[in-house]
Structure 1
């Protein structure tokens, strides 16, 4: 607690030091620090960020109302070199004295050290120079404000500004704008010289962005230009460009109204030294030529092999290495069809998705064989990637199991492995890590390890015996992924061998929509060290050991006659068996509550030590509006439904297979899991401007055991807590329900999670966040009987935990390093009247380390 107090005191002292800084310290005499911009539009104060973005000059940024970066800059010595040299210029003997202890070179180097120079460079670069009021920039701001309102239909804008002194060397600017009435669009006409383009325009005219009665907006006219161009170019107008679309705007004899005339002239082109015009032509594709081994470094193509497949001409400079269908499946430009931009884009996207070529080049040229000059030859140039590529990856990891880990993976990728554009990846991976939560009797730092081997075969089509073109056309860029994997964990819990395999189909129904269907996903988990259970799950051992001291009479079960602690495995197994069978004599009659506790401990032990075989089928659908990595105003929705064991049970019933002694079916002498599982995940980001983002996430998942199972396997269960979940609790440290996380790795088969986060910029690449996380896990319709752990009605939602806190993130461009400090705000494990804010302190806080944002 003393360390915490010291840190808090240091933080307060730093805050006082920064607060004591003079904001106008570096403002020259006769100048003023701009502290505020105020915009009044039509006598009304506005706050719209889009309007304030028109200003050339803005005040220094604030963090929670405080100009942190300005004050950091003011703390810096802008000329540390001169200051350091001045120490010796004013006192030459000091330099001589220091040179006796250090060499002259070391004394000079000391002036470049962090404490003399580096800290000031850091403060200067992290900080922000004062925003000195500049009248020239203010004049430019007035012009931009006028343009902004003009572009939004206010053609008679008047704008002025006034500078008001606030304090010594501080000022604010008041902008006053009078817009007048907006101009509305009146009549709409079109003059299109080329008849065939006029016909195309009439077809899509109803989708025009320019409509009578709308307020004039320049962005609508730009959007209409692009819409028309896209429509024409997707219907054969190869040479059409947006600059051919112009608008005549007539406001003469109109009161706040404008007549609009759309004008599209004929095609203009250079012919020698003269410029000619002629009506636009619509072009058809006369040939599609595919060059499968094009090299940009060579000026000529020496074709030695070729073939024609379904009207596609395929050429190669060496022996053709690809099955024609594998290439032509990716080409949407077809002979005899009209030229269309979208087909070029779709072809490029599909070819790039094959991952066996570099980014493709598609070019068009007029077919000179056509006397009407209305045909194009499409030329698709493909540059193959290397058939074999070797890769290595070194990762520093952090997970819910490992506090720290180092992973190394080596992989070999083989492209076009079966001449059908398939890609085979073979990967060998290994990991060593440290986990303080796991059994570690030798107290080694690297106490966990894992290695594995994976095979992945990607086939660029739906790999199935029948055609799926009508259901999933090739425009959805379908692919099939076949996977086989093996992994072995050592010193991680019970140690495991994990065998996996599956066939999954992926496609994109629309832009930003993805679908995945796992025909089967199989997993066999074999526990190698089940006798280590009570060493790993120490809470279960303590509970069983405590009950044993009250009842046990068998000296063979405990370590010595004084402590009487149960031996693992002899004592724990023996005492549990005695309790459940009732075949022993105890120190006193066994209470019903203690019998229930022992039964619950044993059921959990059996569930977590049994080997699992899972054969599942699932469907996953994802939709997002995110355009790119810089888009901070989007939503993402993901849903998944999974069914396991249903097919095996159906086959067993059809084959009249007998059930085992537990009343369940088995395969390879192993009871397989049977359940149905569904999940819903929704993420929403709001861009609040000025690098402020509000992020929200909601998650609901439930897995219900069926037929062959009365519980969900550990690998398919849910947990709560951790750096990507409720950050006020450690991983597996929350729930189920209000039980208080009595086990070591608490899991359940239903989960609700809600998270909100306000993200903001602190300085440079350093970002901050305030967050709140709510949620919990529960058992439902399984073999858990504890009332505190189960969800029986909506009234159990009162057991949703709430954590809140703040975080720091450093953006390294390619990933983000994240630290979040979470505080238990509402803890459902406490008594009803002690749930709110009783643990809201540093002693009960949880510091989370993570890579990238949690959602």
Structure 2
């Protein structure tokens, strides 16, 4: 039987069986199908549909959910009521099953009271709600109808502050002058609560440390009007404590820069710097370096904003495990006009030094696997200014499993060392004020790395990287990274005849390896709402700009042999590259989401380069790309690779243009196991024709050259650490002839293993 027909019959069977739930409904019951609100008004009602929708959202109870007009949840509930429901029925009930909601569960008189209460909260006083049940005995269902009669709402005539004591009277009056409460505003309880919170926030910014929005109370007077208007008065509740009615000044700031909670009574030394007390049990953090992170100032009014800024800045240094700011009230100095606070900042350091060793089992989508050993050393306060020094070394060995026996690249050995220093401040020839960066102070990053790769029977590659740049957060969601110095050096120190033959057959590939020296700058902008886990709609956007060779070209020399320009005897690359990575997550609920991703990238060689350096080119396929195709096996364009599937494919299948799109539905299974259904599409292309890669040039026909795949995934998610297994098969293969590309190749399923979610 055709598979599509089989699936359709299964769906039809489910619909037919779900429609048969009437026979399971008890004779003295009717299935509740929901409620409807009908509104009648005695005047023009603004935003009537919005109000109707709000009232219908508060109707209780919620009816059983429907899918395509049927009740699958009820169906599986009734199936489990049998003596032997079976394992599958029990499992499906746990996932989608629902207990039935009958008319006897509906208390319409209680819902009427809730509707009236909600209308009064919105200013529609003296309204009425009456309910009836619309029963369908034949279908054994019933619907609740709520007929709501809404009267003209009360609107604001005036808003003023009652007489209260100084100094808080002046500050509240100043806040009221900027209110959005204007004449004609409809009475609304939510507006009043928002106004109280707004006034409290403004008072807090002016130093009212002990004030609380619950101290404010509104009173409405309608006696002066006959046309449903009211005067609104704001006053303080009775018996509000005196200390809540005066602003606080920060008299003293104490910073415990290496506070030990288990040894809090240790003898401390105090250093006075920039009107702050730095208290340490030993010389740990230079006060001059720590001071810029503290935005609190002696003599200023208490400010929750400055307190949050200080805590956030200190937390981003990377040296401290805990940052705790506590305020101590000096009650003996309380007067009728002011009060005093002492700010105590307790900083609990992380272990200054850390040594870590990891033994890893590496598996890759290109059939390579093997062990890897990594050692890393960290010093989190190198020069007593919060500088973080990281030194890491790695040694790895990989061999090919199940690949082509004639592949000359059957194994590889890698060795690398990298040193990095992260300064929690801006290192720049000219002084930049830290106050310019309100949210956080930028960090300066310097790194140096050397890597050695020995691909057996092919080549040996020595590469080095140097970077200097800045990293900072503009706000909660936005991050900038700018590296004005980014240098890569790559040198094929030895090649074999087999690899020389590969390069000889593909001059483009030869040129990409010849560009040994890459010097330029790069900038990355990231907007990330994924940090807010409670948002229903989350957006992530990253744009990276990489430019190389422009400054070096000023010092380049012509090379007569290669007909290119060189710097220090090395051929240098010159290009501009732009990537855009956009993601959107729709959180259906706390356990289910739909995740989507769009990626577009383009690299443009110019000047000294006819094409992009090999390490800067794009590839497609693999666990974080189009998962129905193994890594680097898709493209460029319609290029199908060589028949033997040798290493030549793995090197060749790159391009300077990349387009991809992904969509994934994520859902829970049981315990810490989660599932996914996904579809991916994408490919890479070259902007110039390469005779060694026929079909690889980008053209207006690019949409028909996308590789498309679908699949299922299993994730092991333990407190955010995710191990991912994905199984995907192509449904559109651009390497096939036109007219034959759409074909669900379920027998060509590709397995992908990954750590973390793909997007």
Q: Normalised by the shorter chain, which TM-score bucket?
A: 0.7 to 0.9
Of 493, 497, 506 in structure 1, the residue corresponding to residue 471 of structure 2 is 506
Whole-angstrom distance in 1 between the partners of 2:23 and 2:342 = 66
Whole-angstrom distance in 1 between the partners of 2:77 and 2:488 = 57
Match of 1:248 in 2: 219
Of 398, 414, 423 in structure 1, the residue corresponding to residue 379 of structure 2 is 414
Whole-angstrom distance in 2 between the partners of 1:820 and 1:842 = 14
Conserved? CA contact 1:485–1:499, under 8 Å: yes
How many residue pairs get aligned? The number is 737
Query: 3-state DSSP class of the match of 1:329?
Result: helix
Q: CA deviation at 1:531?
A: 2.9
Conserved? CA contact 1:402–1:433, under 8 Å: no
Whole-angstrom distance in 2 between the partners of 1:205 and 1:532 = 83
Match of 1:339 in 2: 302
Q: CA RMSD in A?
A: 4.7
Conserved? CA contact 1:235–1:338, under 8 Å: yes
Of 349, 352, 366 in structure 1, the residue corresponding to residue 312 of structure 2 is 349
Output one character per residue of 1:331-380: Cα deviation in whole Å (capped at 9) or x when no partner.
11111222100111111111111222222221122346857453322111
Match of 1:37 in 2: 34
Q: CA deviation at 1:779?
A: 1.9
Whole-angstrom distance in 2 between the partners of 1:661 and 1:52 = 80
Query: 3-state DSSP class of the match of 1:359?
Result: strand
Query: 3-state DSSP class of the match of 1:325?
Result: helix
| Counterpart mapping for 1:463-478 below 5 A | 463-469=427-433, 472-473=436-437, 475-478=439-442
| Counterpart mapping for 1:704-743 below 5 A | 704-740=604-640, 743=649
Whole-angstrom distance in 2 between the partners of 1:460 and 1:416 = 10
Whole-angstrom distance in 2 between the partners of 1:805 and 1:687 = 21
Whole-angstrom distance in 2 between the partners of 1:138 and 1:850 = 52
Q: CA deviation at 1:147?
A: 5.0
Q: CA deviation at 1:303?
A: 3.6
- Residue 521 (str. 1) matches residue 486 (str. 2): yes
Conserved? CA contact 1:821–1:845, under 8 Å: yes
Match of 1:641 in 2: 545
Conserved? CA contact 1:285–1:339, under 8 Å: yes
Q: CA deviation at 1:281?
A: 1.8
Query: 3-state DSSP class of the match of 1:412?
Result: strand
| Counterpart mapping for 1:32-431 below 5 A | 36-42=33-39, 54=58, 57-59=61-63, 125-126=94-95, 128-133=97-102, 135-136=104-105, 138=107, 150-152=120-122, 154-155=124-125, 156=127, 158=129, 160=131, 162=133, 164=135, 171=141, 173-176=143-146, 178=148, 180=150, 183=153, 185-191=155-161, 193-201=164-172, 203=174, 205=176, 208=179, 210-250=181-221, 253=225, 259-264=231-236, 268-269=240-241, 277=242, 280-298=245-263, 301-316=265-280, 318-367=281-330, 370=333, 372=335, 373-391=338-356, 401=366, 409-429=374-394
Conserved? CA contact 2:366–2:630, under 8 Å: no
Conserved? CA contact 1:823–1:839, under 8 Å: no
Whole-angstrom distance in 2 between the partners of 1:699 and 1:729 = 17
| Counterpart mapping for 1:788-807 below 5 A | 788-791=695-698, 795-799=700-704, 801=706, 803=708, 805=710, 807=712
Match of 1:540 in 2: none
Query: 3-state DSSP class of the match of 1:838?
Result: coil
Match of 2:742 in 1: 838
Match of 2:684 in 1: 777
Structure 2: unaligned runs, 5 residues or longer = 41-47, 643-648
Whole-angstrom distance in 2 between the partners of 1:48 and 1:689 = 25
Match of 1:93 in 2: none
| Counterpart mapping for 1:459-498 below 5 A | 459-469=423-433, 472-473=436-437, 475-489=439-453, 491=455, 496-498=461-463
Conserved? CA contact 1:127–1:763, under 8 Å: no
Q: Which range is displaced more, 249-258 or 670-679?
A: 249-258
Query: 3-state DSSP class of the match of 1:354?
Result: coil
Q: Which range is displaced more, 192-201 or 307-316?
A: 192-201
Whole-angstrom distance in 1 between the partners of 2:360 and 2:53 = 41
Q: Which range is displaced more, 60-69 or 153-162?
A: 60-69
Q: CA deviation at 1:393?
A: 5.5
Query: 3-state DSSP class of the match of 2:208?
Result: coil
Match of 2:506 in 1: 602
Conserved? CA contact 1:25–1:74, under 8 Å: no
Conserved? CA contact 1:152–1:218, under 8 Å: yes
Conserved? CA contact 1:454–1:483, under 8 Å: yes
Whole-angstrom distance in 1 between the partners of 2:83 and 2:36 = 38
Conserved? CA contact 2:24–2:78, under 8 Å: no
Task: Identify if the C-alpha distance between structure 1 residues 185 and 433 changes in structure 2 by more than 3 Å, giving closer, same or farther.
Answer: farther
Q: CA deviation at 1:473?
A: 2.9
| Counterpart mapping for 1:541-552 below 5 A | none
Query: 3-state DSSP class of the match of 2:696?
Result: coil
Output one character per residue of 1:755-804: Cα deviation in whole Å (capped at 9) or x when no partner.
44566678887766665545433322697897843346xx3454452636
Q: Which range is displaced more, 696-705 or 464-473?
A: 464-473
Whole-angstrom distance in 2 between the partners of 1:369 and 1:76 = 70
Conserved? CA contact 1:644–1:676, under 8 Å: yes
Whole-angstrom distance in 2 between the partners of 1:48 and 1:763 = 39
Match of 1:680 in 2: 580
Query: 3-state DSSP class of the match of 2:245?
Result: coil
Structure 1: unaligned runs, 5 residues or longer = 84-115, 270-276, 535-568, 578-600
Task: Identify if the C-alpha distance between structure 1 residues 291 and 505 changes in structure 2 by more than 3 Å, giving closer, same or farther.
Answer: same
Of 703, 720, 723 in structure 2, the residue corresponding to residue 814 of structure 1 is 720
Match of 2:45 in 1: none
Task: Identify if the C-alpha distance between structure 1 residues 853 and 292 changes in structure 2 by more than 3 Å, giving closer, same or farther.
Answer: closer
Query: 3-state DSSP class of the match of 2:314?
Result: helix
Conserved? CA contact 2:116–2:129, under 8 Å: yes
Output one character per residue of 1:434-465: Cα deviation in whole Å (capped at 9) or x when no partner.
75586655999x96665543333222111234
Conserved? CA contact 2:508–2:611, under 8 Å: no
Query: 3-state DSSP class of the match of 1:503?
Result: strand
Query: 3-state DSSP class of the match of 1:416?
Result: coil
